[in-house]
């Protein structure tokens, strides 16, 4: 009898708990929609990453202005449009400051959506904080492979593939050209180191050992000795992997040194051509090979979501007072991914947002978006382009590899 009573009590308790749970679910569903969807992000207003971080923020702000002008973003969880509000802090390119500020965005500003700052160094700080608070991190350009080691349920790389994948086409191109003496200098950070490792592995698989392969500190301000050391190995191809500041310094020192490499590849002319041209001149960039990213890689047709490249360039110009670069597009692309996520997520819970971001399949001005389970980006490809001189005295990209997307042929370097 006693046992039966206890059984009844247990049943009653379970029923009561279920009723309370059901009530809670019902009340969540009928909870009033928030006045704003708050997005929190950081930007580097000064320091090493400012030149890249500021355009990325400008792209995100542009997306917000576009969405808010139309009455907000459609949020499926509430079946209505809600305006976006942005909370942004300046981390000054300092990862320790960024750590505190990411936590501030989550714990004090109670943001609904967290977006990381530019690049792997400033994104690394966000990865830990997002994981601690079980918050999805929309990551526009932090491509460090280590962030996407499973299990990684709280990260969404919105724009580029992980850095280790970047040189795939480039390595094949070097091999196809029959280059045997490759000299590589890379900045010792996750982004550039991963690319060096991939390139060297691909070359070695074809029995090509680089004649020069050395790392330099990312803060290096003089490549002169390195350039001469590379030249002494008589390379038929020279590769410099770095951040924009490294590329600028490398080109400036190369021009001053009088050294000429028969084939030269660097990363950032393909992303920030205006910045590089402004700092080193079009002549120094002429014939250089690079990864072309939008806007150099122009996607105007087949766009299934957001603005085409031409429309974007026209619309953003009044805000940024110049032609957009890749990082403006990366910021805008992060906004598009957030928009589509909110449009399709059944609730604003972080795991539902992450699941919705994983289901997205669209083609934007940034190319194909497709997310791996690890949160890494799979859709976009990075072909190889050459910056060829134009009649107006500038340079323009010609995609030379792979053949399926090529827009022209490489010309011999002068």
Partner 1 sequence: MRRGVWRDGAILLAVAVVLLLLPKAYSNQMLLFQLMVYLALSQGVNILYGFTGYLPFGYVGFFGIGAYGASLAMLDLHFAPLLGILAGAVVALLLGLLLSPLLRLSGAYFAIASLAASQAVYLVIANPSLQNITYGPYGIQLPNQFNPIASYYTMVVVLLLAVGVVLYIRRSRFGMALQAMRDDPVSAAMSGVPVVRERIAAWLISAALAGVVGGVFAWQTSVFYPDAVFTLSISIFAIVFALFGGVGTLLGPMFGTVVLFGMYNMIGISDPQYFQLIYGLLIVALVIFLPDGVASLLRKKGIHVL
110 or 359: CB nearest partner 1: 110
Measured CA angle at 400 (ends 394, 404), to 5 deg? 135
Q: Tell whether residue 162 is a contact of partner 1 (CB under 8 A).
A: no
- What stretches of 82-189 show up as alpha helix (H) in DSSP? 95-107, 119-132, 168-177
Distance of alpha carbon 376 from alpha carbon 160, whole angstroms: 8
Q: Are 374 and 250 in contact (CB under 8 A)?
A: no
For the record, the structure tokens of 249 come out as: 């310094």
Q: Tell whether residue 13 is a contact of partner 1 (CB under 8 A).
A: no
Q: Tell whether residue 201 is a contact of partner 1 (CB under 8 A).
A: no
Q: Tell whether residue 336 is a contact of partner 1 (CB under 8 A).
A: no
Which residue in 38, 65, 68, 104 binds partner 1 (CB under 8 A)?
104
Which residue in 193, 244, 292, 324 binds partner 1 (CB under 8 A)?
193
Q: Tell whether residue 388 is a contact of partner 1 (CB under 8 A).
A: no
Distance of alpha carbon 194 from alpha carbon 143, whole angstroms: 10
Q: Tell whether residue 24 is a contact of partner 1 (CB under 8 A).
A: no
Q: Tell whether residue 297 is a contact of partner 1 (CB under 8 A).
A: no
Q: Tell whether residue 157 is a contact of partner 1 (CB under 8 A).
A: no
Residue whose entry in the numeric block shows the structure tokens 């966000």: 126
With a CB cutoff of 8 Å and minimum separation 6, the contacts of 355 are 345
Dihedral Cα 125, 359, 384, 334, nearest 10 deg = -50
62 or 154: CB nearest partner 1: 154
Q: Tell whether residue 41 is a contact of partner 1 (CB under 8 A).
A: no
Q: How far apart are the first and last CA of the chain?
A: 98
Which residue in 2, 5, 30, 96 binds partner 1 (CB under 8 A)?
96
Which residue in 131, 172, 180, 283 binds partner 1 (CB under 8 A)?
131
3-class DSSP state for residue 11?
helix
Which residue in 128, 233, 310, 407 binds partner 1 (CB under 8 A)?
128
Distance of alpha carbon 250 from alpha carbon 256, whole angstroms: 10
Piece of the chain touching partner 1 by CB under 8 A; list 100-108, 261-269, 382-390, 402-410: 100-108
Q: Are 113 and 138 in contact (CB under 8 A)?
A: yes
Would you give the distance in Å from CA 293 to the centre of its chain? Answer: 11
Which residue in 43, 62, 63, 147 binds partner 1 (CB under 8 A)?
147
Nearest approach in angstroms of CB 376 to partner 1 is 15
Piece of the chain touching partner 1 by CB under 8 A; list 21-29, 93-101, 202-210, 292-300: 93-101
Which residue in 43, 49, 102, 241 binds partner 1 (CB under 8 A)?
102
Q: What are phi and psi of 4, to 5 degrees?
A: -65, -40
Distance of alpha carbon 399 from alpha carbon 387, whole angstroms: 9
147 or 261: CB nearest partner 1: 147
**Residues near partner 1 (CB under 8 A):** 45, 89-90, 92, 94-97, 99-104, 107-108, 120-121, 124-125, 127-129, 131-132, 144, 146-147, 149, 188-190, 193-194, 215, 217-218
């Amino acid at each position: 009898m006693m046992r039966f009573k206890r059984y009844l009590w247990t049943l009653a308790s379970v029923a009561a708990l279920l009723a309370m749970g059901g009530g809670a679910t019902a009340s969540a569903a009928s909870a009033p929609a928030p006045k704003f969807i708050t997005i929190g992000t950081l930007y580097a207003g000064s320091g090493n990453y400012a030149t890249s971080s500021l355009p990325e923020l400008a792209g995100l702000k542009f997306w917000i202005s576009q969405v808010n002008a139309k009455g907000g973003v459609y949020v499926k969880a509430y079946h209505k449009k809600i305006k976006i509000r942005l909370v942004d802090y300046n981390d000054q390119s300092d990862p320790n400051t960024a750590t505190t500020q990411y936590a501030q965005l989550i714990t004090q500003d109670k943001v609904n959506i967290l977006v990381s700052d530019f690049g792997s160094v400033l994104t690394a700080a966000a990865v830990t904080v997002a994981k601690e608070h079980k918050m999805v991190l929309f990551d526009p350009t932090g491509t460090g492979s280590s962030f996407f080691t499973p299990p990684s349920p709280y990260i969404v790389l919105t724009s580029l593939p992980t850095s280790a994948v970047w040189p795939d086409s480039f390595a094949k191109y070097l091999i196809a050209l029959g280059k045997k003496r490759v000299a590589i200098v890379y900045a010792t950070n996750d982004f550039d180191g991963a690319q060096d490792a991939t390139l060297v592995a691909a070359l070695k698989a074809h029995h090509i050992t680089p004649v020069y392969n050395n790392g330099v500190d990312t803060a290096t301000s003089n490549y002169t000795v390195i350039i001469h050391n590379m030249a002494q190995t008589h390379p038929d191809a020279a590769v410099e992997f770095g951040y924009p500041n490294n590329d600028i310094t490398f080109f400036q020192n190369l021009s001053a040194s009088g050294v000429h490499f028969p084939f030269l590849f660097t990363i950032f002319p393909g992303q920030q051509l205006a910045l590089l041209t402004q700092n080193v001149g079009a002549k120094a960039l002429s014939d250089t090979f690079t990864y072309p990213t939008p806007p150099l890689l122009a996607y105007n047709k087949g766009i299934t979501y957001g603005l085409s490249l031409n429309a974007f360039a026209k619309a953003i110009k009044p805000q940024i007072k110049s032609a957009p670069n890749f990082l403006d597009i990366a910021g805008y692309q992060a906004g598009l991914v957030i928009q589509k996520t909110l449009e399709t997520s059944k609730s604003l819970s972080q795991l539902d947002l992450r699941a919705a971001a994983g289901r997205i399949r669209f083609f934007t001005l940034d190319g194909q978006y497709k997310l791996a389970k690890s949160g890494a980006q799979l859709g976009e490809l990075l072909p190889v382009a050459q910056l060829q001189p134009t009649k107006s005295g500038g340079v323009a990209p010609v995609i030379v590899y792979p053949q399926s997307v090529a827009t022209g042929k490489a010309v011999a370097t002068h």
